[in-house]
Structure 1
C-alpha cells in the first residue's frame, strides 16, 4: 500500500488550502475530544486535515470488519490515521458503541454521516446519537473545490486536481445544539450542505447548451 499512500500524500501536499482565521481556530480546537464530520465524497481531504490542523490529535475512523476493511485500515495507518473496526452499515449499534468508547477514551473520531453506501448527503441519525451520548462537540468540515474530477460512484467522489485551490471551512457544533435529536439531525445536514457546495455538473451544463 505504501506507493499509493505516498502518491496520496504528495497529491495532498500540492493542494492550496484557503481558510479564514475563524475556520483555522475551529480546525485546531484541541482542548477536548471531537467528532470530525465530513461527507463521504470529501474523504480525500481527511489525511491533509489531520496533517495540517490536528497535530497530536490523530483521529480514529470507523472501518468495516471485512477483508476490504483490512486494506483500508492498512492504508489509514500509512496516511497517519487510525481505525476502529466494526460494522459500519447505517452507523448502527455496533458502530455507535465503538465510536462512543473511542471518544470516552479521549480520542477524536472521524465520521462520514452518509457513508459507507449512501444515499449521498443523507445524514444518518447515528451521527447525532454518538455525540449526544458522549456530550462531544462536532467539527463540521467544509471543502469547496475550484477544480476537481468526480468519480462515477454513488457519492460522486471528489478528487481535487493537483495544485488546485480548496476553500476549507469548519464549524463547531456543541452537544447542547443537539439536545433535540430530530431537529439536530436536520440542522447538521443543512449546515454540512452549506459548507460543501458542489461543483457544477459539467455534463448537465453541456446538455443545456445543446
Structure 2
C-alpha cells in the first residue's frame, strides 16, 4: 500500500476527524475566553427563554466560526451541518462544544442546482428542524447557501420559519483581530486576545399562510436584517462594515 493511500485512510478515519474536532473546539474556547466580547440586545433571546419558546438563530456563512461557543450557553440549540466530509468534522466540533447537530444541506433554487444537491438530505433536515422546534429546541443555521452568492438569504430558512411558526433572530459575531479567507463566503477565522461583538436583531416571523410574494418579502427582510447586525458588529469592534466596494472586493 502506497504512502498516499495510507495518508488518505488516516485523514478519512474516525479517529482523525475526532482529533481535529477536539483541537478546533479547544481553539474556539480559547478564542472565546481570551477576547473581550460585547453582547448587544441579548434581551431579544431572553424574552423567548422566559416564555420557554424556541427560535431560529440565523447568521451568514463565513461569520459563524466563533458563534457556536455562544450557542452552548443559549439554552438547548442544534445546528445544521452538511452530510459531506466537512460536516463530519463540524459534528465533532459541536460535540466537544456541547451543541447538538442536525445533518443535511439546504437546496438552492434552480433545477441545475437541485440536481447537484440531490441526496444531500435537505428535505430530511428540514423535517428534523421543524420537529426539534416543536420540542422547544432552538435551531442555529446559516441563511445563505454554498456556492453562493454570499449574503443572499435562501428560501430554506424562510420555509423553516413558515412551517414551524417560530421566529428568525438574526445574529452576528465577530472580532477585531481575524483572518479572512479568499473563498466564496470570505470565511473569517477569529483570533484571540481581541475585542469581540455579538449582535442580535429583532425577531422576524413568517405567516403560515404566506403567499410567494410574502415569502419573498420575508426573505429580503432576513437578508437586510443580517447585513445590519453584521455591520453593527463590525462597527463595535472598530472595523469598517464588510460591504462590497467593487466586484470581488470587500471592506473590513
The TM-score by the shorter chain falls in which range?
0.7 to 0.9
Shift, 1:134, TM fit: 0.9
- The answer to whether the aligner puts 1:46 opposite 2:103 as a matched pair is no
Equivalence for 2:229: 195
Tell me the CA shift for residue 3 of structure 1.
Answer: 2.5
Contact 1:89 1:116 in 2 (8 A): no
TM-fit CA distance, 1:83: 0.8
1:151 aligns with 2:181: yes
Bigger mean CA deviation after superposition, 124-133 or 101-110: 101-110
158, 161, 164: which one aligns with 2:191: 161
Q: Which residue of 2 aligns with 1:186?
A: 220
CA drift at 1:120: 0.8
What is the alpha-carbon distance in structure 1 between the residues aligned to residue 224 and residue 192 of structure 2?
29
Residue pairs, 1:5-84, within 5 angstroms: 5-20=25-40, 23-28=41-46, 29-30=48-49, 31-52=52-73, 54=74, 57-84=75-102
Task: Name the Cα RMSD after superposition.
Answer: 2.6
Shift in Å at residue 92 of structure 1? 4.4
Unaligned runs of at least 5 residues, structure 1? 205-210
Number of aligned positions between the proteins: 199
Q: Which has the larger radius of gyration?
A: 2
Structure 1 residues 14, 89: CA separation in 2 closer, same or farther (over 3 Å shift)?
farther
CA contact (8 A) 2:134 2:164 kept: yes
8 A contact 1:62–1:88 mirrored in 2: no
Q: Deviations over 1:129-163 (max 9, x none)?
A: 10111110222102354332101221111122212
Say whether the 8 Å CA contact 2:144–2:153 is kept in structure 1. Answer: yes
Residue 168 of structure 1 aligns to a residue whose secondary structure is strand
1:40–1:157 contact (8 Å) kept in structure 2: yes
1:47 touches 1:80 (CA, 8 Å); kept in 2?
Answer: no
C-alpha spacing 1:63/1:19, structure 2 compared with 1 (3 Å): closer
Unpaired runs of 5+ in structure 2?
1-18, 109-120, 246-252
Other structure's SS at 1:83 match: strand
Give CA deviations for 1:51-101 in whole Å, capped at 9, x if unaligned.
Answer: 44x1xx231111222344222211210122111122434394333222212
